[in-house]
Amino acid sequence: MPCRLHKQDGRVCDDCADYDGIRARVLVIKLGAAGDVVRTTAILPAVHRRYPHAHVTWITEAAWRPLLDGNPLIDRPLVRGECLDRLLVESFDVTFALDPDEACAALAAVARSRERIGFVLDDRGRVQPASPSAVRWWQMGLNDGLKRANRRTYQDLLYELCGLDGPVARPQLAIDDDTRARVRRRLAPPLSGFDRVIALNTGGGGRWVQKKWTPLGYLGFMRLVRERDPRAAILIVGGPDERDLHATLLDADGSEGIIDGGCDHSLKEFAAAIELADLVVTSDSLALHVATALERPVVVFAGPTSPWELDTYGDGEVVFAPVPCLACYQARCDKPVTCMERLEPAAVYEAVLRVAGRARAVAVR
């Protein structure tokens, strides 16, 4: 169809000064989970540096597509299950297949691509590195010892996997004005009487149960904030799985300054709520990567997953209990006392004070 500029003044592509021709077609396949999709968008500035005038297609799961919508560095977000016809017809200069699992690797094998980076499914149904740069990532996925020994961030490893040059960028996330306004209408009034807002994310995904803190941990932290900084509001945010936990926290505390951010919101509404915060406290989960994308100072607690892979981009701290089994990558803990039960509210609060102090110092400069 004719473009907007043609409709405006009749110009055609051959003599259009605004025409930006495609010089490279790039396919990114990153299916999940939500937090990983967000932090993987950190590659996009480097992709565009490597491939100027690139047209970028990104395939993900339907549930996570809203996290890509509106991103100016992605030309076409597609949903797995609705893209096979395009992959069988279209051609790409390079494909980045970034999940070492069968679904992602199968799509990469089907795609008509001159170069494949990441992972691919072979003719016997096995996931294999599609490029030498993916071997380290692949080996770490097969060996918990290598995973625990790693001291590089996820994003740093991702740039290596993709063969991209740094510096490592922040995740890229766009929030539309309508969503932002809708969330602000709901949450700005109860937050307006406070000098600052701490967003406390109670979610942690379903794969590793111990990613979440304990109810006593959340309550202890909330009480420390209210006792020592009564001018700070605590905005509790979570997902549908945290409804009962939110009810417990609100019933047990009930003090002024504890604001329920809700559990029934879209992904973009969740991000808009995080955007209202001056500082974010969260598990290793979607909220961390949203906070870094939105340049919010963050304190993140880790336990079953690697604290060393988490990048706060100089705006935060990662805290964890001093246990020998840290980064066990066990779905459920078999210890009588878990790492999250050992994580003291005072340790998280002290990290908040340090991060907030650095943020204020930067603002003054």
**Predicted confidence (pLDDT) per residue in 264-283, tens digit:** 999 999 999 999 999 999 99
d(CA 215, CA 275): 24
Q: Are residues 105 and 196 in the same domain?
A: no
d(CA 362, CA 295): 13
Per the CB < 8 A criterion, the answer to whether 193 and 314 are in contact is no
Of 162, 190, 210, the residue that ends a domain is 162
Is residue 3 situated within a structural domain? Answer: no
Percent of the chain at pLDDT > 70 equals: 97
* pLDDT at res. 365: 41
Of 162, 190, 216, the residue that ends a domain is 162
Q: Are residues 191 and 317 in the same domain?
A: yes
Is residue 89 situated within a structural domain? Answer: yes
pLDDT greater than 60 at residue 361:
no
Q: Are residues 200 and 334 in the same domain?
A: yes
Q: Are residues 284 and 312 in the same domain?
A: yes
Q: Output the domain CATH number for residue 206.
A: 3.40.50.2000
Strand-pair partners of 57? 27, 76
Q: What is the pLDDT of residues 232-254, one digit of tens each?
A: 999 999 999 899 999 989 887 66
Residues 6+ apart with CB under 8 A from 312: 288, 292, 298, 300, 318
What's 165's DSSP letter?
A: -
Average pLDDT, the chain: 93
Encoded tokens for 315? 């705006």
* pLDDT at res. 1: 85
Q: What is the pLDDT of residues 280-327, one digit of tens each?
A: 999 999 999 999 999 999 999 999 999 999 999 999 999 999 999 999
> What pTM, to 2 d.p., does this model score?
0.93
Q: Are residues 263 and 186 in the same domain?
A: yes
Is residue 15 situated within a structural domain? Answer: no
Q: Are residues 144 and 195 in the same domain?
A: no
Q: What is the pLDDT of residues 66-116, one digit of tens each?
A: 999 999 999 999 999 999 999 999 999 999 999 999 999 999 999 999 999
Of 123, 139, 162, the residue that ends a domain is 162
pLDDT greater than 60 at residue 363:
no
Alpha carbon distances (Å) from 43 to 184, 310, 357: 30, 15, 30
362 Cα distance to chain centroid: 24
What's 214's DSSP letter?
A: P
pLDDT greater than 50 at residue 64:
yes
pLDDT greater than 50 at residue 364:
no
Per the CB < 8 A criterion, the answer to whether 138 and 100 are in contact is yes
Domain housing 52: 20-162
DSSP letters along 263-322, please? S---HHHHHHHHHT-SEEEEESSHHHHHHHHTT--EEEE-SSS-GGG---TTSEEEE---
